[in-house]
């Protein structure tokens, strides 16, 4: 197949789509991708891409075309300009591309408008669109503090409804996404299929550090934003400060990192250690020091539908999981029998879950269960096989659509 991929974020930004596209190339497909000028997550254009440089390049077999994008910086105005500059410029760019792509694949996180170019190309050239839905809009706005009754939320609600009804197939990362898309946006449920994320190869069976140690180490790894509710972790750490052998490690960066550091300092939480953002290739060494991994989400009713990709990464590494969330996360932890989960934003519950983990004399079994569940449900090969089948099916339908259009 010749596949046109649309996504606002791609290499060298830290983004899982890179591995997906390169895997498609390895399977013999031609992959062209329209993306932004890299500036995520810090909001500044990456070195080497300023002033129109490297607007077209090939990386590991993927042909990358970069449209005009205003960097997101660190305020709401620039964030909106970033969103719409990519949606607008990429939609114009794809209209100049040849009409010989077999199928269009759009990887949708935030914002949903990043998929606009997929629909622009498909409409002009009578192609089918497969969307991979990783975030729900406008639900993400509510998690960031935007009121559901506000004009801004309602505006993006209308935008989201229009765009979610355009793809021919929507692949979802969490089973709970289906009800939201059907009930909130009126999407035909027959178009929706479950395709959970997988972990990057470097996290495959991360070994535990074997040396004798006197501490129990818990680790959160990933984006540090409002949706992750890491205040819950710090409050639990405060409640358990008398557990002198307990350490809380937070690896990552995001909008809430400075607030968390300030909170930890005010509460004198010497048992909480911040590392900042680390390169993906260094992350396994941090996982290796952890006895269990942490996953937390805000109590927002829509965010609870999410299954963050870090869950699969934790499982691939063979780590027990301790969470504070409702919805899909506790469902998976329970099904896998790989840890403990309190309610979202429940610091006391999280502290008790940690105590339950410490009291478990067979903690290694939780890690083994975690890895076994990953192998049954979340491997890279399972993901790629299913994605390839979906793309092939849509490509065939696209050929029929093109043939029909030629008669008119």
Helix and strand element counts for the chain (H, E): 14, 14
Cα–Cα distance measured from residue 251 to residue 283, given in angstroms and rounded to the nearest whole number = 9
Tokens describing residue 357: 């983990």
Which residues, 6 or more positions from 369, have their beta carbon under 8 angstroms from its beta carbon? 336, 337, 338
The whole-angstrom separation of Cα 244 and Cα 241 is 7
Alpha helices in 165-276 (DSSP H): 177-185, 231-239, 257-266
Question: What does the pLDDT read at residue 264?
Answer: 96
Average pLDDT for consecutive 10-residue bins of the chain (408 residues)? 96 92 98 93 85 93 94 79 92 96 96 96 96 93 82 93 97 95 96 94 71 87 91 97 95 92 96 92 91 94 90 95 96 97 98 97 95 95 96 85 52
Long-range interactions of 172-178: CB distance < 8 A, separation 24+: 172/133, 173/132, 173/133, 173/134, 173/197, 173/306, 173/307, 173/309, 174/305, 174/306, 174/307, 174/328, 175/307, 175/328, 176/304, 176/305, 176/306, 176/307, 176/327, 176/328, 177/133, 177/136, 177/305
Other CB atoms within 10 Å distance of the CB of residue 42: 13
Q: Which residues of 366-403 are buried (b: 16+ CB within 10 A; e: fewer)?
A: bbebbbebbeeebbbeebbeebeebbeebbeebeebee
Residues 6+ apart with CB under 8 A from 28: none
For residues 103 and 169, is the Cβ–Cβ distance under 8 A? no
- The pLDDT of residue 189 is 96
Structurally, at CATH architecture level, domain 202-377 sits in 3-Layer(aba) Sandwich (3.40)
- Give bridge partners of residue 193 from the DSSP assignment: 171
CA-nearest of 195, 332, 217 to 285 is 217
Q: Please, which residues bridge with residue 294 across strands?
A: 322
**Residue found by looking up tokens 């696209």 in the block:** 398
Domain map of the chain by residue range? Answer: 2-198+379-405, 202-377
pLDDT, position 209 = 64
What's the pLDDT score for residue 145?
A: 77
Q: Classify 2-198+379-405 by CATH class.
A: alpha beta
The pair of structure tokens assigned to 298 is 């805000």
Query: Would 2-198+379-405 and 202-377 be classified into the same CATH topology?
Result: yes
């Amino acid at each position: 197949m010749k596949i046109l991929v649309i996504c606002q974020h791609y290499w060298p930004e830290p983004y899982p789509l890179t591995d997906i596209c390169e895997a498609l190339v390895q399977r013999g497909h031609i992959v062209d991708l329209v993306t932004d000028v890299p500036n995520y997550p810090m909001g500044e254009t990456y070195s080497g891409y300023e002033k129109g440089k490297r607007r077209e390049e090939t990386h590991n077999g993927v042909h990358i075309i970069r449209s005009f994008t205003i960097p997101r910086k660190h305020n709401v105005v620039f964030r909106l300009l970033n969103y719409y500059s990519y949606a607008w410029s990429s939609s114009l760019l794809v209209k100049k591309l040849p009409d010989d792509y077999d199928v269009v694949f759009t990887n949708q996180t935030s914002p949903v408008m990043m998929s606009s170019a997929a629909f622009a190309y498909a409409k002009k050239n009578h192609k089918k669109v497969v969307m991979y839905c990783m975030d729900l809009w406008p639900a993400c706005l509510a998690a960031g503090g935007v009121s559901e009754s506000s004009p801004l939320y309602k505006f993006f609600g209308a935008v989201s409804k229009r765009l979610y009804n355009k793809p021919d197939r929507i692949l979802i990362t969490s089973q709970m996404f289906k009800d939201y898309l059907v009930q909130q946006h009126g999407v035909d449920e027959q178009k929706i299929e479950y395709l959970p994320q997988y972990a990057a190869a470097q996290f495959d069976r991360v070994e535990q550090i074997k040396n004798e140690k006197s501490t129990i180490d818990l680790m959160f790894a990933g984006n540090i934003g409002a949706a992750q509710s890491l205040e819950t972790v710090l409050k639990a750490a405060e409640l358990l400060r008398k557990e002198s052998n307990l350490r809380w490690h937070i690896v990552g960066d995001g909008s809430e990192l400075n607030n968390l550091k300030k909170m930890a300092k005010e509460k004198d939480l010497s048992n909480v250690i911040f590392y900042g953002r680390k390169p993906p290739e260094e992350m396994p060494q941090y996982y290796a020091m952890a006895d269990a991994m942490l996953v937390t989400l805000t109590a927002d009713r829509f965010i609870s539908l999410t299954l963050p990709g870090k869950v699969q990464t934790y499982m691939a590494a063979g780590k027990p999981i301790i969470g504070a969330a409702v919805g899909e996360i506790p469902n998976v932890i329970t099904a896998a029998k790989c840890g403990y989960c309190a309610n979202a934003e429940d610091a006391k519950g999280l502290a008790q879950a940690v105590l339950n983990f410490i009291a478990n004399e067979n903690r290694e079994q939780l890690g083994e269960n975690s890895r076994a569940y990953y192998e049954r449900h979340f491997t890279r090969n399972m993901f790629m096989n299913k994605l390839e089948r979906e793309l092939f099916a849509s490509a065939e339908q696209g050929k029929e659509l093109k043939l029909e259009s030629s008669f008119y």
